[in-house]
Chain A
Amino acid sequence: MKGYIAKRTGQMLLVVFLLSIFIFLLVSMIPGDPVYAMLGEEVSQEEYDRVFHELKLDQPVIVRYFSWLADALRGDLGESTQFHMKTSEVLASRIPITLFFSIAAFIISVPFGILFGVISAVNRGKPLDTVVTLIANVTACLPQFWFALLIMFVFAMKLGWLPSYGFDWPWVNSMGWKQMIMPLFCLSLGGIASTTRQTRSSMLEVIRQDYIRTARSKGIANNKVIYLHALKNALIPVITILGMRLGNLIAGSMFVESVFNIPGMGSLMVKAIQSRDIPVVQACVLAIALVSCLVNLATDILYAVVDPRVRFE
Chain B
Amino acid sequence: MAEKHLYEIKNIETSFRTDGKMFKAVEDVSVYLNPGEIIGIVGESGSGKSVTMMSALQLIQEPGKVTGGEVYLDGSDKNMLSYGPNSAEVRKMRGGRVSMIFQEPMTSLNPVLTVGFQIQENIIEHLHLSKEEAKKRAIEMMKMVNIPDAEERFTYYPQQFSGGMRQRIMIAMAMSSEPSVLVADEATTALDVTTQAQILEMIRDIAKKTNTAVVIVTHNLGIVARFAERIYVMYAGGIVETTDAERLFENPEHPYTRALLRAIPRLDDDRDRILIPIDGLPPNPALRPEYCPFYDRCEYHMDKCKSQKKPVLKELEKDHFCACHLTEAEKALKKAEIEAKPVKKAERAVIGDEICLDVKDVKKYFPIYKGMMRKHIGDVKAIEDISFRVRKGETLGIVGESGCGKTTLARCIMRVYQPDSGEINFNGVDIAKFNDKQMYPYRKQMAMIFQDPFSSLDPRQTAESIVGESLLIHKLVKTREEYEKKVDELLRMVDLDPSMKNRVPHEFSGGQRQRIGIARALSSNPDLIICDEPISALDVSIQAQIINLLEELQAKLGLTYLFIAHDLAVVKHISDRILVMYLGRIVEIAECEELYSNTLHPYTRVLLGAVPVADPKVEKTRERVEIRGEVPSLTNRPAGCPFSDRCNCVTDRCRKEVPKLKDVGNGHEVACFLYE
Contact = CB atoms under 8 A, between A and B. Distances in A.
Interface residues of B, number: 34
B378 interface: no
For A6, A215, A217, A309, the residue with the greatest tally of chain B CB atoms inside 10 Å of its CB is: A217
A229 interface: yes
Contacts of B372: 6-7, 10
B93 A233 contact: no
Contacts of A309: 111-112, 157, 159
A127 B626 CA distance: 59
Nearest to B114: A308
A211 B95 contact: no
A307 interface: yes
A214 B125 contact: no
A213 interface: yes
Contacts, number: 83
Contacts of B110: 211, 214-215, 229, 232-233
A219 B93 contact: yes
A233 B99 contact: no
A221 interface: yes
A213 B113 CA distance: 15
B95 A220 contact: yes
Nearest to A212: B110
Interface in B28-65: 57, 59, 61
B387 to A, nearest CB: 36
A59 B170 CA distance: 68
Nearest to A221: B91
A94 interface: no
A214 B86 contact: no
Interface in B86-132: 86, 90-96, 99-100, 102, 104, 107-113, 121-122, 125-126
B190 to A, nearest CB: 11
A308 B61 CA distance: 28
A263 B514 CA distance: 68
A228 B92 CA distance: 19
B424 interface: no
B108 A210 contact: yes
A218 B59 contact: no
B371 interface: yes
B159 A214 contact: no
Given A3-B371, A211-B107, A216-B59, A307 B112 contact: yes
Given A10-B372, A213-B59, A309-B159, A221 B112 contact: no
Interface in A49-79: none
B125 A220 contact: yes
Contact of A308 (B96, B107, B157): B157
A274 interface: no
Contacts of B371: 3, 7
Contacts of A307: 111-112
B162 to A, nearest CB: 13
A312 B159 contact: yes
Interface string A233-260: 1001000000000000000000000000
A217 to B, nearest CB: 5
Nearest to A236: B112
Interface string B158-202: 011000000000100100010000000000000000000000000
A311 to B, nearest CB: 8
B113 A222 contact: no
Contacts of A229: 110, 113
Contacts of A209: 107
Interface string A286-313: 0000000000000000000011110010
Interface in B615-636: none
Contacts of A312: 157, 159-160
A219 B126 CA distance: 8
B121 A220 contact: yes
Nearest to B94: A219
B170 to A, nearest CB: 8
Contacts of B96: 219
Interface string A1-42: 001001100100000000000000000000000000000000
A218 B121 contact: yes
A312 B102 CA distance: 25
B200 to A, nearest CB: 20
Given A3-B371, A232-B113, A217 B86 contact: no
Nearest to B183: A217
B102 A218 contact: no
A301 B240 CA distance: 56
B113 A214 contact: no
Nearest to B91: A219
A306 B108 CA distance: 19
**Interface core residue of B57, B110, B157 (most chain A CB under 10 Å):** B110
**Most B CB atoms within 10 A — which of A219, A228, A236?**
A219
Contacts of B173: 218
Most buried by B among A3, A211, A213, A236: A211
B157 A214 contact: no
Contacts of A6: 372
Interface string A126-141: 0000000000000000
Nearest to B372: A10
A218 B157 contact: no
Contact of B159 (A210, A221, A308): A308
Nearest to A218: B95
Interface in A116-130: none
A2 to B, nearest CB: 11
A64 B102 CA distance: 64
A6 B94 CA distance: 45
A209 B125 CA distance: 22
Nearest to B88: A221
Given A210-B102, A229-B110, A232-B113, 11 more contacts: A209-B107, A211-B108, A211-B109, A211-B111, A217-B57, A218-B94, A220-B122, A306-B112, A309-B112, A309-B159, A312-B159
15 contacts: A211-B107, A211-B108, A211-B109, A213-B59, A213-B61, A213-B102, A214-B109, A214-B170, A216-B94, A220-B125, A228-B113, A229-B113, A308-B112, A308-B159, A312-B157
